[in-house]
Homo-oligomer: A and B are copies of this chain.
Amino acid sequence: MSVAARPPLRVALLGCGVVGSAVARLLVENSADLASRIGAPLELVGIAVRRLGRDRSDVPVDPALFTTDAEGLVARADIVIEVVGGIEPTRDLILSAIHHGASVVSANKALLAEDGPTLYAAADAGGVDLYYEAAVAGAIPILRPIRESLAGDRITKVIGIVNGTTNFVLDKMDTSGAGFSETVEVAQSLGYAEADPTADVEGFDAAAKAAILASLAFHTRVSSADVHREGISEVTAADIAAAAEMGCVVKLLAICERVAGSDGDAVSVRVHPAMIPRSHPLGSVRDAFNAVFVEAEAAGQLMFYGRGAGGDPTASAVLGDVVEVARHRVNGGRAAAETAYADLPVLPMGAAITRYHISLDVDDLPGVLASVATEFAAHGVSIETVRQQVAASEDDRANLVIVTHRAADAALSATVDALEGLDTVREVVSVMRVEGD
């Protein structure tokens, strides 16, 4: 049977914002290619929007396709593309689509990170596909490589720059020397940051993506609530300069690690700013680009790099999933079900193993370094390097820059608390984790 002779697969699109309109456009522009790759044509049967009557002349489809009846639309589709975002009513719409036998392609990181297992279970029970490559790192193929390409290996670490806004801000701070607030304003004026940038700069977006990455990499359910999260709003120009002195850059990292313990393995999942060496593959990720670094026992180090956001890049990832679920409709088969068989414990932040870079303003007196070093030793933290600089203008003060060896975050944090209590320490100027060895 030729491609054209097969009955078309009915596609419903939920949402027509930046991503949705790009998806609609690509569905139309690439329709012949898509049909050839799938083995059947796709037919866009409707686009659910919140309000009719807006000018949508940039979306090259019959205006009659727009509808506010999302519930009715999902009931008459083979494939439902969800690019609305948000938790409700989106969750109910996806569950309704699955209930009606549709396969679902979603870009909804917040929903998947909060309540993915409900959706996976529904898709599994319904015998349909649920794909969500676009939920993490936009156009970069990262979920399929983790789920499939590395399925014969053991992943030990995933470190991602998965939020373009924060990478843009930190990169501009690095190149300009400017502070956080003014750089966020620049990012807003260029369209790289929202008017309310909280979800990005405070790490909520990255934490959702970390939860999804960790769940897939470690075959363990990790929700956004399990992810330790710190944003970049307290990163200062001085922190960036201190990183530069060490040959490092500051990045907001989504870190998912498999950690061996005496009671078996566990996972650490966290989002926070950290210094990483410029020579690390992630160190040269500039502007609003995303990248995900993966380490696996047999494969070694891998990195995936590309655009993490924007209408077209996200639509590319959505359509890759659409082709896959459509092929399953034509040829049979479906995606491997979610596996959470490993069910590893998720460690609290205090148990994460990391390194600290600490900058202290201290009295320039004999014995200060000894008292500082004593606090590290008391908490079982080993010092890798210390650099002492006497401030030129005020010769009774000095600056101590200390980089530790790897230790539990709780021990490092307690050491910093103890340093703050020392009489000879005037100020703990900055504390930042160091990653990427």
Contacts and interface: CB of A to CB of B under 8 A. Distances in A.
Interface in A306-326: 306-307, 310, 312-313, 315-324
B141 A145 contact: yes
Contacts of A315: 152, 298
Contact of A331 (B22, B320, B333): B333
A36 interface: yes
A119 to B, nearest CB: 19
A290 to B, nearest CB: 10
A336 B36 CA distance: 11
Measured as residues with beta carbon below 8 angstroms from the partner, the interface class of chain A is 35 or more
A305 B281 contact: yes
Contact of A300 (B26, B154, B298, B306): B306
Contacts of A317: 149, 299
B313 A148 contact: no
A270 to B, nearest CB: 24
B144 A145 contact: yes
Nearest to A133: B149
Nearest to A315: B298
Q: How many copies does the complex hold?
A: 2
A296 B319 CA distance: 13
A148 B320 contact: yes
Given A141-B150, A141-B302, 11 more contacts: A30-B154, A33-B342, A139-B298, A139-B302, A141-B148, A152-B321, A298-B315, A303-B305, A303-B306, A305-B305, A333-B333
Nearest to A36: B341
Interface in A1-49: 22, 26, 30, 33-34, 36-37
A436 to B, nearest CB: 15
Given A301-B306, A301-B307, A306-B302, A34 B144 contact: no
A296 B305 CA distance: 13
A389 interface: no
A284 interface: yes
A26 B319 CA distance: 34
